A and B are shown apart, each in its own frame.
Chain A
């Protein structure tokens, strides 16, 4: 990808690049909005979750817990564990984002989702363009909030929207992101271990199932990579 020196064109390139993923999260956003209404949150609170927290999986789990009468502390602890993959994203993007001025760091930090990471993580210092990243992040943020709003509006008029399987959209999106990356043995091992562990740990109902299985997969891929490097 050639680096553009025009901020506006880089911004637009980013916005265009994230468009397919933004559209694909429509069902997931609808779910977040309609579930909030279903759980007796006010429309403003439902929208607040998407505009302040901006983390799909954590939002849905928190809504479920609020509905089930969980306390503030346990919801926050679950959120912390459930979104700790962002620590890894931050660590990975550190070399390109930490030298930026404060408002860029805070802005891109706030917008650092799974999707933004997936689109920009391969960029090194030369390729990374802050405007491109902002285009990706901001477009995704706006799309996510619009779909949540649609979910809030629909959820108040169509009951039972959460039982039609809207959550498949997140699986479809991530499969489309992962499959092209799986090109060598270490990545296959990483995906296989992560998948197995995520199902097993969720079956055991571990609160930190997500991040632990992700770490297990990454470790397996890393070790496999080392062995391959040692042999050749």
Chain B
């Protein structure tokens, strides 16, 4: 029962987070500064999600060369810059990651 309460509660909260500013009756008007600020949402937020995954596997800070997450991320960046192909870069870097983990 408690698990379902958590699931429904989370569903409601996440939906409210997503919906609240899409509601036209909510009286907000965005200034040009606010728009410029929000223009940084994709790089800012997505980077913040990646940071702990890459640098802190197993919840421990790991800046060593034996951290496969870190090395594979650098490879992923290189691949995107070199190939300019999103899908190819994702697939190759994931393949590289699993090989590396298996090898280390």
Q: Which residues of A contact B (CB under 8 A)?
A: 20-21, 23-24, 27, 41-42, 45, 48-49, 52-55, 57-59, 62, 66, 72, 75-76, 79-80, 83-95, 97-99, 105-106, 108-110, 112, 114, 117-118, 121, 164-165, 167-182, 186-187, 190-191, 194-199, 202-203, 209-211, 213-215, 217-219, 221-222, 225
With A165-B97, A175-B77 as known contacts, state yes or no: A214 contacts B21, CB within 8 Å: no
The answer to whether B38 touches A105 (Cβ under 8 A) is no
**Cβ 8 A contact of A105, one of B2, B19, B39, B73:** B19
With A165-B68, A172-B76, A217-B44 as known contacts, state yes or no: A90 contacts B18, CB within 8 Å: yes
- A40 to chain B: closest residue by CB: B3
Sample 29 A-B pairs with CB under 8 A, ordered by A number. Answer: A23-B87, A53-B10, A75-B6, A75-B9, A79-B13, A83-B17, A85-B41, A86-B14, A88-B41, A90-B20, A91-B38, A92-B35, A92-B38, A98-B23, A106-B19, A109-B19, A110-B15, A112-B18, A118-B46, A165-B101, A169-B94, A172-B89, A172-B90, A179-B77, A198-B52, A202-B51, A211-B45, A214-B45, A217-B44
**Alpha-carbon gap, A87 to B38, bound state (A):** 11
| Chain B interface size range | 35 or more
Report A-chain residues with C-beta under 8 Å of the C-beta of B57.
Answer: 165
Report B-chain residues with C-beta under 8 Å of the C-beta of A121.
Answer: 41-42
Minimum CB–CB distance from B29 to chain A (whole Å) comes to 9
The answer to whether A72 touches B94 (Cβ under 8 A) is no
**Alpha-carbon gap, A68 to B71, bound state (A):** 31
The answer to whether A97 touches B37 (Cβ under 8 A) is no
Report B-chain residues with C-beta under 8 Å of the C-beta of A110.
Answer: 15, 18-19
The answer to whether A221 touches B21 (Cβ under 8 A) is no
* Ranked 10 nearest A-B pairs via Cβ: A198-B51, A90-B21, A20-B87, A109-B19, A217-B44, A52-B11, A214-B48, A202-B52, A218-B44, A218-B40
The answer to whether A105 touches B50 (Cβ under 8 A) is no
**Cβ 8 A contact of B46, one of A20, A174, A196:** A174
Since A49-B7, A52-B8, A191-B47 are in contact, a sample of 17 more A-B pairs with Cβ atoms closer than 8 Å, ordered by chain A residue number, is A20-B86, A20-B87, A53-B7, A62-B10, A89-B18, A91-B30, A92-B35, A93-B21, A109-B19, A167-B53, A171-B53, A175-B73, A175-B76, A175-B80, A202-B51, A218-B40, A219-B37
